Amino acid sequence: MSTRRYLISKVLQAILTLAFVLAFNFFLFRAVGDPVTQLLRGHSGISAQAVLQLQRQLGLDLPLPQQFVHYVKETFEGHLGYSYFYNLPVSQVIAGRIWPTILLIGLSTLASTALGIWIGIRQGWRRGSKYDQGMLAFTLFTYSMPEFWFGLLIIMAFAVGVGPFPALFPTGGYETTGAGYTGMAHVVDVLNHMVLPFFVLTLSYLGEYSLIMRSSLLETLGEDFIITARAKGVRENRVLYGHAVPNALLPTMTVTILQLGFVLSGVITIELIFNWPGLGLLTATSVDARDFPVLQGLFLLFSASVIVANLVADLLYSYLDPRVRAA
């Protein structure tokens, strides 16, 4: 298959998947019941006329296929509906939450992949050593931890303070409310608030990457070209960094990118307990408020970001590893 055809097929697949998610999203939320009844919940004395008007406005008086077309059209125009709870357009509610999440996920993913890969390399290289065993126990432990539980412990220790030790870090948000910092002071202020959630997320996901890097390196080390290189008398360090690691890195990087989409949703509990005003916190509060339009919008956004991450991983993989295209 040519590179071009491969790329086109991948992009087409992503678009198809996106279409599936759109349809799934539509029917999932239609299945709950009449959206208008939900909209009117708690509002007494609404006239039948007002209900009709609302239905027309939402396109609910149309037959289902037309409703679907209406929904797709609206979605592409950026109209994701109207939040039950905030009484604002969903797109407006979501838009204000994207940046904090990207910041938190971006930095913590960078840190956890870098550390995870570094640890994984050393483990794989010295398979069965005390280091390997120790790190394996450590990473398996962090991997098995519910992030939010670890977060609670961290809050108890660093945000509240234990015994005579004072609370070291601010919590509850993205910046110092009302301080009005600008420029560098603002950046520093945000970072200060990010320390604890960043730490928890980094440690929680580090295990995953190191485990993947470790096994990926182990597989690579068993391959013929490594044995050949060693037979040729290439120095061990060179075998590791010149031959094994670059090859083992490929699957790890792919997983990292795939993981990015999932981390996006995995921050839900972390943002909740650290009151980080991002998409995850919005998800948690919308669950509480049963704010279905917002949940629907978030679900679409999360799914779309995973699909895009998948596509990027596929394309990157084919670029880095020509064998994939040949296959």
Partner 1 sequence: MRPRPTSTEPVATAPDVHIEVKEPPRTPKQIARARRKAAAKRVWREYRKNTMGMAGLIILGFFVFVAIFAPLLASSCGLDPTCPSTGPQLHAPSLKYPLGTDDLGRSVLTLTIWGTRISMIVGLVSTAITILIGVTIGLIAGYYGAWRETVLMRLTDWFLVIPFLPLAIVLATLLGPSFYTVIFVIAITSWPSAARVIRAQVLSLKTRPYVERARALGASDWHLVTRHILPNVGPLIFANTVLTVAVAILYESTLSFLGLGDPLHTSWGTILENSFGAGAPFAGNWWWVVPPGLAIVLVVLSFTMIGYALDDILNPKLRAR
Partner 2 sequence: MSLNGRRKGPWVGGTGILVAAVMLATASFAGIAGAQSATPSPAGKSTFIYGVTAPNSSMNPLVGYLGIDYTIWSLEYNLPIEFATKDFGADLEHSIVTSVETSSDNMSFTYHMRSGLKWSDGQPFTANDVAWTLNFYKESNISNYSADLAIFKSAEATDDATFVIHTDQPTSVFNGQSVWMYEFILPEHIWSTIDEPKKFENVPAVGSGPWVVTQQKPGDFVRLERNPNFWGTQVGLEPHVDVIIEKVFNDENQMAAALQRGEIDFGFFDSANILNSLKTKPNIKTWGAQIPLFDELAFNSGSAFQTDKAGGFVPHGDGIHATSDPAFRRAVAEAIDKQTLVDKVYGGYATVADSPVQPGATTGNWDPPADQALNFNLDKAKADLTAAGYTDTDGDGVVNDPKTGENVVLRYYTRTSDQNTIKTAPFVKSWLEQIGVGVKVFAVSSGKLTTIIESGDYELFHWGWFPNPDPNYILGIFTCEQRAPKPGVYGNNDSFFCDPQYDQLYQQQLTATSTQARVDIVHQMQQILYEQQPYIMLAYTNYLEAYRTDRFTGYTTQPEGVGDLLATWGPFGFIGIRPVTGEGASAAKSEGIPGWVWIAIVVGLAVVIGGIMLGRRRISDEDRV
Residues 229-268 that bind partner 2 (CB under 8 A): 230, 235-237
Q: How many Å apart are CA 121 and CA 254, to the nearest integer?
A: 16
Q: Which does 86 bind (CB under 5 to 8 A by kind): partner 1, partner 2, none?
A: partner 2
Residues 250, 321: contact at Cβ < 8 Å?
Answer: yes
| 32 touches partner 1 (CB under 8 A) | yes
Q: How many Å apart are CA 271 and CA 198, to the nearest integer?
A: 10
Q: How many Å apart are CA 97 and CA 105, to the nearest integer?
A: 13
Cα Rg of the chain (Å, integer): 24
| 302 touches partner 1 (CB under 8 A) | yes
* Range 67-86, binding partner 1 (CB under 8 A): none
Q: Which does 38 bind (CB under 5 to 8 A by kind): partner 2, partner 1, none?
A: partner 2
Residues 71, 278: contact at Cβ < 8 Å?
Answer: no
Residues 195, 154: contact at Cβ < 8 Å?
Answer: no
* Range 279-298, binding partner 1 (CB under 8 A): 283-284, 287-288, 290, 292, 295-296, 298
Q: Which two tokens stand for residue 45?
A: 């004395």
Q: How many Å apart are CA 266 and CA 179, to the nearest integer?
A: 30
Query: In whole angstroms, how close is the CB of 163 to partner 2 at the nearest point?
Result: 13
One residue of 75, 101, 113, 202 binding partner 2 per CB under 8 A:
202
One residue of 34, 78, 106, 141 binding partner 1 per CB under 8 A:
141
One residue of 143, 169, 262, 299 binding partner 2 per CB under 8 A:
169
| 21 touches partner 1 (CB under 8 A) | yes
* Range 124-153, binding partner 2 (CB under 8 A): 125-131, 134-135
Phi, psi of 82 (to 5 degrees): -125, 125
Maximum alpha-carbon separation in the chain: 86
Q: How many helices (H) and strands (E) does the chain have?
A: 14, 0
Q: How many Å apart are CA 169 and CA 78, to the nearest integer?
A: 38
Task: Enumerate the β-bridge partners of residue 89.
Answer: 82
User: Count of CB atoms within 10 A of residue 59's CB?
Assistant: 15
Query: In whole angstroms, how close is the CB of 214 to partner 1 at the nearest point?
Result: 10
Q: Which does 323 bind (CB under 5 to 8 A by kind): partner 1, partner 2, none?
A: none
Q: Which does 153 bind (CB under 5 to 8 A by kind): partner 1, partner 2, none?
A: partner 1
Q: Which window, 4-12, 169-177, 211-219, 256-264, contacts partner 2 (CB under 8 A)?
A: 169-177
Helix, strand and coil percent figures for the chain, each rounded to 5: 80, 0, 20
One residue of 6, 68, 118, 299 binding partner 2 per CB under 8 A:
118
| 143 touches partner 1 (CB under 8 A) | yes
Q: In 3D, which of 206, 194, 309 has the Cα closest to residue 259?
A: 309
| 218 touches partner 1 (CB under 8 A) | yes
Query: In whole angstroms, how close is the CB of 185 to partner 1 at the nearest point?
Result: 28
| Three-state SS at 293 | helix
Interface with partner 1 by CB under 8 A: which residues?
13, 16-17, 20-21, 24, 28-29, 31-32, 127-128, 136, 140-141, 143-146, 148-150, 152-153, 155-156, 160, 162, 215, 218-219, 221-222, 261-262, 264-266, 268-269, 272-273, 283-284, 287-288, 290, 292, 295-296, 298-299, 302-303, 306-307, 310
